[in-house]
């Protein structure tokens, strides 16, 4: 799993194939622009980083109720939203994975 809710990262659907989210993948329907959802974490808005943190906590909480969890990738070249190391750097993943700021995120 990852903290990503789109397929906007470059090459995530294969080289030159586009994304479902922005309708550039053949056969897909436009949902929205990818501009604010991918790239460098330094450019992500505070609201987006807060969303990534809540989404991270929700998934960790849910998976820890079952078999546990393993994050998809340590580092992505141009898509920090996929990157555990970037999440640590920019704060949407806590240094201590047991730390929760949204303790009731799953209800």
Long-range contacts formed by 85-91: CB under 8 A, 24+ apart: 86/41, 87/3, 87/41, 87/52, 87/56, 89/41, 90/41, 90/42, 90/44, 90/49, 91/49, 91/53
Rounded distance, CA 40 to CA 77, Å? Answer: 9
Rounded distance, CA 86 to CA 91, Å? Answer: 8
Dihedral (Cα; 11, 15, 19, 23), 10-degree rounding: 160
Contact 24, 104 (CB under 8 A): no
Total-model pTM: 0.90
For the chain, 107 residues long, give each residue's pLDDT as a single digit of tens: 899 999 999 899 999 999 999 999 999 999 999 999 999 999 999 999 999 999 999 999 999 999 999 998 999 888 999 999 999 999 999 999 999 999 899 87
């Amino acid at each position: 799993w990852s903290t990503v809710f789109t397929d906007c990262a470059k090459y995530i659907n294969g080289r030159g194939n586009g994304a479902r989210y922005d309708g550039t993948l053949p056969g897909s329907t436009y949902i929205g622009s990818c501009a604010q959802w991918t790239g460098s974490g330094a450019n992500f808005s505070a609201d987006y980083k807060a969303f990534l943190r809540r989404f991270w906590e929700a998934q960790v909480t849910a998976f820890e109720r079952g078999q546990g969890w393993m994050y998809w990738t340590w580092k992505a070249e141009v898509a920090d939203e996929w990157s555990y190391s970037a999440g640590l750097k920019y704060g949407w993943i806590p240094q201590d994975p047991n730390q929760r700021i949204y303790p009731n995120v799953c209800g």
